[in-house]
Amino acid sequence: MSTQPLRIALQKSGRLTDDSLALLKDCGIKLSVGGRKLIAPASNFPLEVYFLRSGDIPAYVADGVADIGILGENVVVEKQANVEQLMSLGFAGCRLSLAIPRGETYTGWDYWEGKEIATSYPNTLKKTLDKKGIKASVQTISGSVEIAPSIGLAAGVCDLVSSGSTLLSNGLKEVEVLLRSQAVLVANPNRSEAQQGILDRLLFRIKAHLAAANNKYILLNAPNDKLDTISALLPGMKSPSIMPLGDSGWSSLHSVVQESDFWDRIDALRAAGAQGILVLPIEKMIV
């Protein structure tokens, strides 16, 4: 009996599309994507891709039309659909923020009392206002939210921000962050054993890819009398590999360092006496 493929919903066209497809490619999954196809099967993995609007993905996954999906966490929160959030994927970072005209003085949450706020995220905004005990009027609009104050539709906006240049060019300033978001993998909570098996294989590959992207392979030379200090700065996956150099009194250390504190660690290694430091990208990392 042939295995039923796992169905994954991806954004058809937009900010998430390229990174979502690149992630599957980095997981070694080959798709026949082309033309205007809405469904693309993988040729070397039991996966079938459905291309949908990202706003529709929570409902499709919750209803079981797709088994899993990739979309912004902001949409998962807003749609309140019955989906399980499996993991963050590290791209499409943004925040959902409140913004007001630059010339206005912001006085904190009380500022919003009795005011009108334009947004495409009414559920998330209303929930936050309720939590803060603020009574404001939420105007739901589906696009070009940032022009609402200048046309007299609202006192402020609640919209997604990444670089901040859209707010700037519309004469607005960010005053509160409601939510920080990135792309996430979600799943229908009711999975068969077979679907779970395919999902586990996919998760294993995604984790290996993300771990590799967040780490670097490092090689360096260390004087033997400094080995303990330098090794302590290189916890790696277990501990560094240490090999004697031809030059007596010196050793070569190999390890893995995290991207997040990479430069601080390099500074500490140099200060501790490390020399000839080489840093290489990692293709995949199985932890």
Instruction: By CB under 6 A, name the one of 88, 123, 140, 166 that touches ligand PRT.
Output: 166
Q: Is 11 in the site for ligand PRT (CB under 6 A)?
A: yes
Q: Is 69 in the site for ligand PRT (CB under 6 A)?
A: no
For ligand PRT, which is the closer residue by CB, 63 or 228? 63
- Please list every residue from 181 through 210 that binds ligand PRT, using CB under 6 A: 181
For ligand PRT, which is the closer residue by CB, 57 or 233? 57
Give the whole-angstrom CA distance, residue 137 versus residue 228.
Answer: 62
Q: Is 78 in the site for ligand PRT (CB under 6 A)?
A: no
* Residue ranges with strand state E in the chain: 6-11, 39-41, 47-52, 68-72, 84-88, 94-101, 116-119, 137-140, 156-161, 172-181, 183-187, 215-223, 241-244, 250-258, 275-281
Only segment of 8-16, 79-87, 198-206, 207-215 that touches ligand PRT (CB under 6 A)? 8-16
Give the whole-angstrom CA distance, residue 154 versus residue 91.
Answer: 31
For ligand PRT, which is the closer residue by CB, 53 or 126? 53
- In the complex, the smallest distance separating the C-beta of residue 102 from ligand PRT, rounded to whole angstroms, is 15
Closest CB to ligand PRT belongs to which residue? 72
Q: Is 122 in the site for ligand PRT (CB under 6 A)?
A: no
Instruction: Estimate the share of the chain in helix, then strand, then coil, as percent rounded to the nearest 5.
Output: 30, 30, 35
Instruction: By CB under 6 A, name the one of 92, 202, 230, 266 that touches ligand PRT.
Output: 92
Give the whole-angstrom CA distance, residue 152 versus residue 253.
Answer: 64
Q: Is 248 in the site for ligand PRT (CB under 6 A)?
A: no
Token couple for 116: 């009108």
Give the whole-angstrom CA distance, residue 54 versus residue 203.
Answer: 21
Q: Is 15 in the site for ligand PRT (CB under 6 A)?
A: yes
Give the whole-angstrom CA distance, residue 119 versus residue 116.
Answer: 10
- In the complex, the smallest distance separating the C-beta of residue 62 from ligand PRT, rounded to whole angstroms, is 16
Give the whole-angstrom CA distance, residue 124 versus residue 128.
Answer: 6
For ligand PRT, which is the closer residue by CB, 11 or 251? 11
In 3-state terms, what secondary structure has residue 166? helix
Q: Are 79 and 192 a contacting pair, CB within 8 Å? A: no
Report the length, in residues, of the chain: 287
Query: What string marks each residue from 126 to 165 as x (binds ligand PRT by CB under 6 A) or -?
Result: ---------------------------------xxxxxxx
Q: Say how many residues touch ligand PRT, by CB under 6 A.
A: 21
Q: Which residues of this protein are in contact with ligand PRT, per CB under 6 A?
A: 11, 14-16, 53-55, 72, 74-75, 92, 94, 159-166, 181
